[in-house]
């Protein structure tokens, strides 16, 4: 798996994504998530090691972007 996730639809199942589970599926230590609909909680994904990009939210990453 490439280690990147992109969300461009506001479908209900996306609201309940679990960062740890998604990271495990990606096989990457620092996967990237691009949230085009602002449906996930950025801090939960950042805390799990993701590089988070959300439309209109600016850079919420408090860690170095890998």
Taking the domains of the chain in order of start, what are their residue ranges? 4-54
Name the band, by pLDDT with cuts 50, 70 and 90, for residue 19: very high
pTM assigned to the model: 0.76
**Distant-in-sequence, close-in-space partners of 38: CB < 8 Å, separation ≥ 6:** 54, 55, 56, 57
Look at residue 1 in the predicted model and tell me its pLDDT.
46
Taking CA atoms, 63 is separated from 10, 37, 66, in Å, by: 27, 22, 9
| pLDDT tens readout for residues 27-64 | 888 888 888 888 889 999 999 989 888 888 767 777 66
Look at residue 64 in the predicted model and tell me its pLDDT.
63
Is 1 within 8 Å of 25 (Cβ atoms)?
Answer: yes
**Distant-in-sequence, close-in-space partners of 61: CB < 8 Å, separation ≥ 6:** 46, 51, 52
């Amino acid at each position: 798996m490439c280690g990147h996730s992109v969300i461009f639809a506001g479908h209900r199942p996306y609201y309940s994504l679990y960062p740890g589970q998604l990271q495990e599926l990606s096989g990457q230590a620092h996967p990237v998530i691009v949230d085009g609909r602002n449906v996930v909680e950025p801090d939960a994904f950042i805390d799990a090691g993701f590089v988070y990009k959300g439309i209109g939210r600016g850079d919420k990453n408090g860690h170095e972007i890998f």
